[in-house]
Amino acid sequence: MHLPPIGLGTMGIEESNVIETALDVGYRHLDTARIYENERVVGAGLAASDVPREDVTVATKLWVDDLDPERVRPATEESLDRLGLDRLDLLYVHRPRGSYEPSTTLPALDALVEDGLVSSIGLSNFTVDQVATARDHLDAPVAAHQVERHPLFARDAVLADARSNGYPLVAYSPLAGGRVGDVPAVQAVADKHDATPESVAIAWLAGTDGVVTVPKASSRAHLESNLAAADLDLDADDRARMASIDREEELFPE
């Protein structure tokens, strides 16, 4: 699945005008979830925008209590209703927990693709082994895998699997909950480029082969600066410095 290098993570966004502004400044990938309780907000912003619907990838996620096969379709239809859409571009299994059972949940998702309610199926917060199991039970290809990834936390085996199987890794929480500014290596790279640590963190992810990212922002200024980070060119020395960071600070463990 082709995704822009930088999309908009919407967790915590409560005003539709933020979505409309994001689209106005150039975002074309909106990432939400039922558990964020803002699908209506995302849908309202999309509807108010002049950007054509077909130009925007809209992704949402089924929460762990919607993964029983009897709940997959009704839950998806409820998300579509809240978003004001008749089709989802990308539907994720949010976490492989709760009522998730690969042999029954995933065929129910395949049926959504077959019936035209969903274009692509994604996974989120899976291990490499869990992704492999999912591939065994899905007819549709895994279109994307969304995981926590930032300068303080990165599982390279998950990225390697994404690259070898041809789907993008979608990095959430790219700013490590606002902590990237406290990391000396990130600050050093930022100083070198006369940039912010936040821009460096986003550029590091968006410039990694096989990775896209979905930072959250609410103000026009932050929306623009996050999107512009794709143009920040980190050289080999910068990337070596970023690679030297101890990556053990997971913000959202299972």
Catalytic residues: 36
Q: How many helices (H) and strands (E) does the chain have?
A: 10, 8
Alpha helix segments (H runs only) across the chain = 16-25, 39-48, 69-83, 102-114, 128-137, 156-165, 184-193, 197-206, 220-228, 236-243
Q: DSSP 3-state assignment of 124?
A: strand
Contact between 74 and 127 under an 8 Å Cβ cutoff? The reply is: no
Separation of alpha carbons 254 and 252, rounded Å: 7
CB atoms within 10 A of CB 38: 23
Joined tokens for residue 230: 């794709």
Question: What are the percentages of helix, strand and coil residues in the chain, rounded to 5?
Answer: 50, 15, 35
Separation of alpha carbons 175 and 117, rounded Å: 33
Q: DSSP 3-state assignment of 252?
A: coil
